[in-house]
Amino acid sequence: MKYLGIDIGGMSVKCGVVEDGVILHKKAATIRPREQDRVILADIAALISDTLNECGTDRDEIAGIGVGCPGSVDDERGYVRYCCNVNLVNTPLAEILRELTGIKDIRVSNDANCAALGETLYGAGNGAKNSVLITLGTGVGTGIIVDGRLLTGNRSAGAEGGHITIAMDGEVCGCEKRGHYEAYASATALMKQVRAACEKYPSSGLAKYAEQNGIDGKTVFICAKNGDKVAIETLNRYIEYVGCGLVTFANIFYPEVIIIGGGVSNAGDALIKPLEKYVSENVFGAQYNPKIRLVAATLKNDAGIIGAAALCLDER
């Protein structure tokens, strides 16, 4: 069976024809995020038509459409309550797309949930029944799978792991609350930590590198690899921040695997190995319970498309 996976981003939307977890063809288009929701969805419907035409797939061959959308989504109703970067507010997304495409089976979920589903079924999760995906990007996204099903909470408003509190009265999060995981573990937070280290130690190798090359999610990893002590200290502290949240998820859900995605995950073993060590040393009952695998995401930018399409495999 062929399905369409739609991955909505703040500036663009991606569409893919997916069969058995494999993208047969994909296409992306820019989005007009401030337009009315029906205009935005009409653009997505046009992208769907273009994608099908390009790969020579008839609409009747598509068994369903899955849509991953950032923000607060009511999965059961196919309803987007609020999307901070795209003007989808109280939008009956599934209903409107049914009208525009003529395809009846349309499923909607949060984009991090879709990425978790894609990585668990077809990527780094290797078919695990219990997994947690953490994306370390501009913010921190989380997707949780328990007994093979997405765990989304009451009306799909849960699984917002980026907003657990790891430091009372701590750093201000993007949501304007204090001490949230996202304020310490996101790529944005990492760059802020590197900037602070450079200001405190202006003669360090880290500061000199940042002055010449700027600061991004790779900066501290490059300088730590080169042996700079300030970079090593900064990176170790960041790993403790990330690890603190991972241990919390591990203690609550005890998954078979924790999958790390987002731009920071591109650091590979320099991030994954110390995080795996941190979790194994700090999770409750580690000496008695099964070991939790910790791996980098493998589907990368395709996880959202593949996971969105996989929403249609869920029997409701």
239 φψ region: left (φ > 0), alpha (ψ -120 to 50), beta (else): alpha
- Tell me the average pLDDT across 291-309: 95
b/e 216-237 (16+ beta carbons within 10 angstroms → b): ebbbbbbbbeeebebbbbbbee
pLDDT confidence of residue 71: 86
User: What pLDDT digit, counting tens, does each position of 102-112 carry?
Assistant: 999 999 999 99
Q: Judge residue 291's burial from the number of C-beta atoms within 10 Å of its C-beta, 0-12 exposed, 13-18 middle, 19 or more buried.
A: exposed
pTM: 0.88
Domains of the chain with CATH codes: 2-117+302-313 (3.30.420.40), 128-297 (3.30.420.40)
Average pLDDT, whole number, for the chain? Answer: 94
Q: State pLDDT tens for residues 165-189.
A: 999 999 999 888 999 999 999 999 9
Task: Say what the pLDDT of residue 315 is.
Answer: 62
